[in-house]
Amino acid sequence: MSSNNLTIDIDTHGLITDLQKLIKIPSVSARKQNLEECAKEIVEMMKRIGIKAELLYLEREQKNSTIIPPVVYGEVKSKSNPNGKTLLFYNHYDVQPEEPIDLWDFGPFEGKIDGNLIYGRGASDDKGELVTRLKAIEYFLKNRGDVPINIKFLVEGEEEIGSNNISNYLKKYKEKFEADIVIWEFGYIDQKLKPIISLGMKGLLYVELTAQGASRDVHSSLAVLIENPAWRIVKALSTMVNEKGRILIKDWYKEVKKLSNEENKVVNSEPFDEDGFKKEYGISKFINNLKGKGVKKALICEPTCNISGLYSGYSGPGAKTITPSKAMAKIDFRLVPNMDPAVQFKRLENHLKENGFEDIKITKIHGEAAGRTELNNRYVKVIQNSANEIFGDSIISISSAGTGPMFDFIDLLKAPCISIGGTYIFSRIHSPNEYARIDLLEKTTRCMIKIIDNISISSL
């Protein structure tokens, strides 16, 4: 089978040079830097391939002079099968900041090649993934003069800062984006070179709690009289979870569904290198001494209440005896399917009120529901078969532990979203020396071609 697939004649040289071209544009969304420039370059790339491409904007951008980065929209209609299925590739052209710069061995925006590896910010996340998809379409147009199904692209510029405008784009340009299947922006390939086909993302509710004491930090001899806001925050937080990490807010788990037997079987069969993971993060055990299936279930199914930040008073060396005037906690709750961020926020508000913490101010910073495609969705099998043809094997995962705007796609487009791609699991995304493996970029390009072909010939 693999010899057959190797005959899929893709343009590896073009793949590398296109990826280098994109890496060289430092499109760091956290700094609102070079975003439109990068989007325009992608439009040009698409046009050269034969993809109809344009930049989409949100109206309020022009009005408010707030710079919302454009979305790249690309489209190729199938000449032979214009009323057939439509596949939408979701990707992003923005990247994480390159800091800390001194830990890079090569320039983060250079695209240096070293053997099988190409280094640079975005090499894997997500410029490398995008290029494999562009090259797959190029393959069809160059070799067959047509695509067997309709293809669309949505490439956004705010993924690394929370995709705050994606739902507005999806609403405004709904007709353009309509599709039968969405291929998600990335997919991991594990140590044994098996692609992980992931069917979901967790949701997120991010809040900030603040407590106010005296109008300024005061000498702590007055702690007998003046309420300490750090104690208020500590006391409030301690009512929110028990010692096992179980969230104690009323009805928090009310809508959470158990896994089906079939889902359970899939979770069980997923490989997970516990020792490798512990070594990577310098820990000797998991929370609650989780092991085996418990670890994998937690990553997929467990809602969390995590303290991302905690701050009050003096944090320098030695002693300073003050009763602080302010205390702050940043909390992120990961959500699983059926949990509504707005409802969970209300429950948190009620919890604090009912426990006597009316004085604590709660600010909602971000809310995003979990998205998940059903295991028995018919596209899952087609994609898995395609991946197996190219990689020999693959892994199905019910959900990633991370968060992305998958819910918006599923909810607004009513289409399944499936995550598959070419990001090697240790390719240091978000970190210094991010790289992509050229062999995996090639294989992934072939995998995308396979997926498109197989969708066209399947009775979906």
Shortest Cβ 183–its own copies spacing (Å)? 21
CB of 460 to its own copies, least distance (A): 32
Q: How far is the CB of 63 from its own copies (least distance, A)?
A: 23
Shortest distance, CB of residue 344 to its own copies, whole angstroms? 16
Rounded distance between C-alpha atoms, residue 218 and residue 321, angstroms: 9
Closer CB to its own copies, residue 64 or residue 321?
A: 321
Best CA proximity match to 414, nearest among 198, 202, 174: 174
CB nearer its own copies, residue 220 or residue 338: 220
Q: Between 293-301 and 261-269, two packed helices, what is the crossing angle to 10 degrees?
A: 120
| Nearer Cβ to its own copies (351/446) | 351
Question: Smallest gap, in angstroms, from Cβ of residue 237 to its own copies?
Answer: 5
Residue 246's identity, in one-letter code, is: R
| Shortest distance (Å) from residue 306 CB to its own copies | 4
| Nearest residue to 369 via CA among 409, 328, 340 | 340
Question: Hey, what's the torsion of the CAs at 183, 401, 372, 377, to 10 degrees?
Answer: 70
Question: What is the full DSSP assignment across 79-119?
Answer: SS-TTS-EEEEEEE--B----SGGG-SS-TTT--EETTEEE
Q: Closest separation between CB of residue 238 and its own copies, Å?
A: 4
Residues 6+ away with beta carbon under 8 Å from 351: 239, 240, 248, 249, 250
Nearer to its own copies, 56 or 295 (CB): 295
Compare residues 101 and 365 and give the one whose CB is closer to its own copies.
Answer: 365
Both tokens of residue 358?
């009316």
The least CB distance from residue 246 to its own copies, in Å, is 12
Q: Which two tokens stand for residue 242?
A: 């028990």
Q: Is the Cβ of residue 56 or residue 401 nearer to its own copies in the bound state?
A: 401
Half-sphere exposure of 114 (CA within 13 A, CB side): 12
Look up residue 18 and give its two tokens.
Answer: 């296109």
Residue with tokens 């961020």: 341
Return the closest-CA partner of residue 129 out of 450, 436, 439, 454: 436
258 or 281: CB nearest its own copies: 281
- From the CB of 46, what's the least distance to its own copies, in Å? 31
Nearer to its own copies, 195 or 229 (CB): 229
**Distance, CA of 53 to CA of 70 (rounded, Å):** 12
Q: Which of 108, 59, 69 is nearest to 92 (CA)?
A: 69
* CB of 130 or CB of 204, closer to its own copies: 204
3-state SS, residue 215: coil
CB of 262 to its own copies, least distance (A): 22
Q: Are 105 and 17 in contact (CB under 8 A)?
A: no
What Å distances lie between residue 95 and 38, 124, 201, 209, 396, CA to CA? Answer: 11, 10, 19, 29, 27
Q: Residue 163 Cβ, how far from its own copies at the closest point, in Å?
A: 12
Enter the DSSP assignment of 346.
H
Q: In this complex, which beta carbon is closest to its own copies, that of residue 231 or of residue 345?
A: 231
Between 223 and 343, CB nearer to its own copies: 223
Containing H/E element for 152? strand 150-156
How long is the chain?
460
Distance, CA of 231 to CA of 235 (rounded, Å)? 6
Which of these, 241, 375, 235, 365, lies nearest to 303 by C-alpha position? 241
At residue 117, what are phi and psi to the nearest 5 degrees?
A: -110, 145
Nearer to its own copies, 62 or 363 (CB): 363
Q: Compute the least distance from the CB of residue 78 to its own copies, in Å.
A: 37
